[in-house]
Structure 1
Amino acid sequence: MSRFRRTALAAALTVATAALSAAVGSAAPATAAPPTAAVALGDSFISGEGAGAYSPVVDLNGVARPFPGWSAPNSNAYFCHRSANASLFQADLPGIQARFNLACSGGQPYDIANASASRAKGRQVAAQLDQLRAVGQTHDIDLVLVGLGSNNSSFTFGSVAEKCANRFIADAWTGWWEFWAYLGGPVPQEPCSDADLATAAQFNAATAETTAAVRQILTTLAQIDADGQHRIVLQDYTNPLPPELASKFWTEDSRSDTRDKFRALGAERYAGGCPIHRASLAPGHRFSQGLGTLVNSVRTTLAAEFPNADLVGLNVQRAFDGARLCEQSASPTGALATPIRLQDGPSGVFVTSLSGYDKLDIQRIANTCGTYFQTCQESWHPNAAGHRVLGRCLSGAASTATRAVACVRAPDGTITVS
């Protein structure tokens, strides 16, 4: 075949191919792929409680609720405290084009498939699965971060923290005889025990609730994610307090927390962010480890039920090692968690020192937290620096080839995920 004929034939084929492409294109225009998304579901350790920079939250009526004032009802959607500093936004997630924080401070397994407002002390937000479905209509969901289990129908993190802190404060400021003389009976002042935090039966019930909720998440994702390609990272919890306090916080005025009434020591620990008995620390860590066991049990059960699911467990129990509250003498400076902080009335001004307050002052301040829980709900949660660390943990879990990883902080601050 001559060069001319080969050239002519090639030209003809080019024209024919172009015509065919044009015909196909006009018959079925190409559809652009939806943008990829990462989504956060669950409770306060995921929503960004304690990290500040909270965004307006859409309520059940579709209205975005900004900060309503400290004296507003705690059920206000805003107090879900969805932070722009939450770990979801701190993580390095290549290929992810949009991020949606659907978690809510105080969230429980019940809230995954049901509106939180329909249970006691719930917030005015839609079911998290309904919010997830809305994201799925416009985005290709590639990553879902889930933190669930520390709040449930048996116990909540907030109630556990409040119980142990209140016992310490009562023990520090009021002598045993004053309870009989002024209050007509004893008020708990002893350190928290394991049974005070959660019993084995309560952990079992919480595990069942959490498993059912995460099962609903997996099932819903299979229905709404068109390409079926998504990773679910199931994260557990880190304790804001250390196994032992720095020696600075052991005694003050020659009084330890085993004495009757130790106000100077109580004030010192409050200023450091850790108003708690030293004897409560070990039960507190066993409680945190129990939450880790709960989350790992959920992952193991559902990995067997959904063998094709890309389900990764993320253990963060040692992510704050060396930088927990009162683990160093300069606390709360340098800590990765928020100190316990209260307001004397819903003023927006936090009490940073309890020095000079008497027992009636302390009772008034404590009552503010009970009446306006939003004034103290940030206490003992990861702060913005803590969420940056958790973001690095999430980055590792998002890219790992294994089914379970642990995120650990070294003494020099190095974070490893393996």
Structure 2
Amino acid sequence: MSRSRWWLAGLALAGVVVLVAVFVLVDVGDQGPTERPGPPGTGPLTVVSMGDSTISGEGAGDYTPRTNGRAGNWCHRSANALVHKVRYGGAVESVNLACSGAPSGHVALGDVKQYTEPSQAAQLRELVKTHRVVAVVVAVGANDEPHFSRLISECFTAWFMETGSPCSERIKADWQSRVDAMVPKVTAALRDIRTVLRQAGYDREDYELLLQSYASPIGAGIPESLRNLNGCPFRIDDLKWVEQTGAVSLSAGLRRAAAGAGARFLDLSRAGEGHEACSGGDRADNEWFTRFTVEWDDLKVVERASHALQESFHPNAKGHEQFARCVSEFLATNDPAAACLEGQDGNLHAAPSPVARGNS
């Protein structure tokens, strides 16, 4: 090859090198910020539940040994709990931090303990060190000022006192003020959950924060033959109040609490219609809540006796499965709020919330 051809070849090679360098520089400069691949940190994608008995799995059976009375821990976390059935965001693990009887203060950061356990938000802080959280599902508030479970117990007692007034007559007097007092406490707990995740490096877009309300476990449409200790010992007036007023107004308050923390909201107040405890008569197959339940063996042991009725009137395993179906559907949407309602297939589905549309 002549010297001129060598020179031309060298010049061409140099040109190629320059062009490659230009393309590389342009490509890098045009990339801009890359989209985050989801929650920060390391570990499996995980759905977490926080709150009280309605989401811990109380009434669903198959409790973890550590939370079934061991050393005073009665959180009653069930293998059948809703969180273990939710499908969202490619999550491969589920963690239940909820504890039966927990008030909002136990979900929040602080020193409040429930059945020997520390703050659930503090537990979440430890969890995110080894897990990548894609969703936090919360159910809390009933054990604050509303004391919903205690009120149901009072209505149970009123059934024995046939000559007295229905328990709902006493509850009505200050029920709304109790709900109103609960709202800021739930909002504060939700904000603490956000604080924990923000401090762990999460952006709001990295996870979903969902507050769900409570489904009424009892209703007026039960057979008279089961309105006793064989099933659901309540007066008709009290059954109507819990179903038509108590659960609905509690849900409205929780909607406000969710809005205060920028959380999504799922209304369960009508989710149990037609499937309440005792609604199935002689057959309980289609019921999503426990009836009056006594753990007779627990009555034989002093330290367990006071918890022998703890499972009564809570979602059972079928109920948790149905609620999880609705939660999964809702999380897959971009809707800020929805309601769990039964579809024509007999299952719960996430539907537009009547309250969200402005109807009461």
> Is the structural similarity TM-score above 0.5?
yes
Query: Residues 298 and 406 (structure 1 numbering): CA distance in 2 closer, same or farther, change over 3 Å?
Result: same
209-218 or 222-231: bigger deviation: 222-231
What corresponds to 2:355 in structure 1? none
Q: 1:339 aligns with which of 271, 281, 291?
A: 291
What corresponds to 1:196 in structure 2? 171
Aligned-pair distance for 1:400? 1.1
Q: After TM superposition, list the pairs within 5 Å mapping 1:260-279 onto structure 2.
A: 269-271=228-230, 273-279=231-237
Q: 1:100 aligns with which of 95, 98, 117?
A: 95
Aligned-pair distance for 1:50? 0.6
What corresponds to 1:306 in structure 2? none
Q: 1:137 aligns with which of 129, 133, 139?
A: 129
TM norm structure 2? 0.79
Please say if residues 137 and 212 of structure 2, whose CA atoms lie closer than 8 Å, have aligned partners that are also in contact.
yes
What corresponds to 1:22 in structure 2? none
Please say if residues 155 and 168 of structure 2, whose CA atoms lie closer than 8 Å, have aligned partners that are also in contact.
no
Q: How far apart are the structure 1 equivalents of 2:86 and 2:279?
A: 26
What corresponds to 2:64 in structure 1? 55
Please say if residues 212 and 268 of structure 2, whose CA atoms lie closer than 8 Å, have aligned partners that are also in contact.
yes
What corresponds to 1:261 in structure 2? none
What corresponds to 1:245 in structure 2? 221
User: Which residue type is aligned with residue 320 of structure 1?
Assistant: G
**Is 1:123 matched up with 2:115?**
yes
Q: How far apart are the structure 2 equivalents of 1:225 and 1:141?
A: 12
Please say if residues 323 and 348 of structure 2, whose CA atoms lie closer than 8 Å, have aligned partners that are also in contact.
no
Q: How far apart are the structure 1 equivalents of 2:93 and 2:215?
A: 27
280-289 or 381-390: bigger deviation: 280-289
What corresponds to 2:318 in structure 1? 385
User: Which residue type is aligned with residue 43 of structure 1?
Assistant: D
Q: 1:312 aligns with which of 257, 264, 267?
A: 264
**Cα-to-partner distance string for 1:315-363 (whole Å, 9 max, x where unaligned):** 11222221112323335342110011235673479xxxxxxxxxxxxxx
Aligned-pair distance for 1:93? 2.3
Please say if residues 114 and 128 of structure 1, whose CA atoms lie closer than 8 Å, have aligned partners that are also in contact.
no
What corresponds to 1:89 in structure 2? 84
**Cα-to-partner distance string for 1:190-223 (whole Å, 9 max, x where unaligned):** 3122542652221111112112211211222222
Please say if residues 316 and 393 of structure 1, whose CA atoms lie closer than 8 Å, have aligned partners that are also in contact.
no
Aligned-pair distance for 1:146? 0.7
**Is 1:114 matched up with 2:110?**
yes
Q: Secondary structure at the match of 2:298?
A: coil
Aligned-pair distance for 1:300? 1.9
Aligned-pair distance for 1:384? 0.4
User: Which residue type is aligned with residue 53 of structure 2?
Assistant: S
Q: Secondary structure at the match of 1:232?
A: strand
TM norm structure 1? 0.68
**Is 1:329 matched up with 2:281?**
yes
**Cα-to-partner distance string for 1:98-124 (whole Å, 9 max, x where unaligned):** 21100100010111223443xxxx410
**Is 1:395 matched up with 2:354?**
no
Aligned-pair distance for 1:410? 3.6
User: Which residue type is aligned with residue 144 of structure 1?
Assistant: V
Q: Secondary structure at the match of 1:314?
A: strand
What corresponds to 2:75 in structure 1? 80
What corresponds to 1:413 in structure 2? 346
Q: How far apart are the structure 2 equivalents of 1:92 and 1:134?
A: 23
Query: Residues 32 and 322 (structure 1 numbering): CA distance in 2 closer, same or farther, change over 3 Å?
Result: closer
User: Which residue type is aligned with residue 35 of structure 1?
Assistant: P
Aligned-pair distance for 1:241? 1.0
Q: How far apart are the structure 2 equivalents of 1:416 and 1:236?
A: 15
Q: How far apart are the structure 2 equivalents of 1:218 and 1:225?
A: 11
Q: After TM superposition, list the pairs within 5 Å mapping 1:219-238 onto structure 2.
A: 219-226=195-202, 228=204, 229-238=206-215
Which contiguous aligned blocks of 4+ residues in structure 1 show a shift greater than 4 angstroms? none
Q: How far apart are the structure 2 equivalents of 1:270 and 1:405?
A: 36
RMSD over aligned Cα, in angstroms?
2.9
**Is 1:163 matched up with 2:163?**
no
Q: Secondary structure at the match of 1:327?
A: coil
Please say if residues 176 and 249 of structure 2, whose CA atoms lie closer than 8 Å, have aligned partners that are also in contact.
no
Q: Secondary structure at the match of 1:141?
A: strand
Higher relative contact order by CA 8 Å / sep ≥ 6: 1 or 2? 1
User: Which residue type is aligned with residue 318 of structure 2?
Assistant: A
Q: How far apart are the structure 2 equivalents of 1:163 and 1:377?
A: 14
Aligned-pair distance for 1:66? 5.7
User: Which residue type is aligned with residue 124 of structure 1?
Assistant: T
Q: How far apart are the structure 2 equivalents of 1:213 and 1:144?
A: 12
Q: After TM superposition, list the pairs within 5 Å mapping 1:248-259 onto structure 2.
A: 248-249=223-224
Aligned-pair distance for 1:279? 1.0
**Is 1:215 matched up with 2:224?**
no
Q: Secondary structure at the match of 1:374?
A: coil
Aligned-pair distance for 1:406? 1.0
Structure 2: where are the runs of 5+ without partners? 1-7, 25-39, 352-360
Query: Residues 134 and 201 (structure 1 numbering): CA distance in 2 closer, same or farther, change over 3 Å?
Result: same
What corresponds to 1:299 in structure 2? 258
